[in-house]
A = this chain, B = another copy of it.
Amino acid sequence: MSATALESLAQQACVRDAARLPAGEVDTLLAVLPGWQHVADRVAKTYRFAGWHETMAFVNAVAWIAERAGHHPDLSVHFNRCVVSYSTHDAGGITRNDLVCAARVERLFA
Which residues of chain B come closer than 8 Å to A72, judged between CB atoms?
A: 52, 78-79
Task: Report how many copies the assembly holds.
Answer: 2
In chain B, what residue has the closest Cβ to A57? B63
Residue A76 interfacial (CB < 8 Å) = yes
- Contacting A63 at CB < 8 Å: which of B52, B66, B74, B78? B52
Kindly state the interface size class of chain A when it binds its partner.
10 to 19
**Minimum CB–CB distance for A24 against chain B, Å:** 29
Q: How far is the CA of A78 from the CA of B79 in the complex (A)?
A: 18
Residues of B within 8 A of A52 (CB): 63, 66-67, 72
Instruction: Check if A77 is an interface residue, CB within 8 A of chain B.
Output: yes
19 residue pairs from A and B, CB less than 8 Å apart:
A52-B63, A52-B66, A52-B67, A52-B72, A53-B67, A56-B60, A56-B63, A59-B59, A59-B63, A59-B77, A60-B60, A72-B79, A74-B77, A74-B78, A75-B75, A75-B76, A75-B77, A76-B76, A76-B77
